[in-house]
Amino acid sequence: MVKRICLLGIFLFFLSSCATEINPEMEQERYIRSFDDQMLEEPITVRLYYQLNSAEDGYVWLSGAKGSSGTERIVLPLVFNGSKGQLPVTAVKGVREIALSFESVLLSSSIVELQESAFEMATELISVENVNNIRSIGNRAFFGCESLQSFKMPPSLDSIGNSAFANCRKLEISELPSSVSQIGTNAFAFCSSITSFRIGENVTTLGAGVFDSCVNLTDIYCEASSAPAGWSAEWLENCTATVHWGQ
């Protein structure tokens, strides 16, 4: 206990002396016992790495996490308690160390971004919960999450990055919320469980090979009557699905 208190004191001293960034080598061991004021049945031991995204707003990114061996579920916190008080955790970036031992991730309601490589190669990850406030999903956010089955697209989602869900072979998804305006290159490449897909009329940017090698995709329904100017000419690269326009 004394060792843990000393480590925490060193961590907070470092935070107060650094205006924009926390050294990722500094670890803070925390016992996450609550989520949005709801008590969890069992605390989960995790090591979390934080980084301030700017001195102006003080929001923090959760830039890395790893849990105790054998943990099936990890909970990402709502706030970070630092020298500036409680700061909202608003984004997840590059949490690759979370990967292999976790089947489920519960996001806090303050998180609005899943940034680049957020859960890349989390090969045992099956579901991500509480995603309703997510507005953007970055490049390779779920790349290689070959066990991912449950991901309910958030109603406020605006953009999906390059290869965001590539190689998510068990992911079953058929449409996106109407709020989506951008879909990146190879966003759903090699998603072999997708059989049909609907692209809304608000999608103004579409990258090349969005459905590359989606071998079971047979029909794509586009609400637009023809491909908008912002769609890549190669958006159907390596895809044999039939496209239905104006539907």
Residue 139, H or E segment: none
Residue numbers of the domain that contains 205 = 2-245
Taking only the tens of pLDDT, the chain with its 247 residues reads 444 434 434 333 333 333 233 333 333 333 233 333 333 333 334 455 556 655 545 555 555 555 544 556 666 777 776 666 677 778 887 755 444 457 888 888 888 999 888 888 888 889 998 899 999 999 999 999 999 997 889 999 999 999 999 999 999 999 899 999 999 999 999 999 999 999 999 999 999 999 999 999 999 999 999 999 999 999 999 999 999 999 9
* 135-174 exposure pattern, b = at least 16 Cβ within 10 A, e = fewer: ebbbbbbbbbbbebeebebbeebebbbbbbbbbbbebebe
Q: What is the pLDDT of residue 150?
A: 79
What CATH number is associated with residue 189?
A: 3.80.10.10
CA distances from 122 to 93, 167, 168, 183 (A): 13, 11, 10, 22
First and final CA of the chain: distance in angstroms? 62
Among 145, 224, 126, which residue's Cα sits nearest to residue 183?
A: 224
In 10 A of CB 188, how many CB atoms?
A: 26
Q: Specify the pTM.
A: 0.76
Q: What is the pLDDT of residue 98?
A: 46
Q: What is the number of structural domains in the chain? A: 1
Q: What is the pLDDT of residue 95?
A: 56
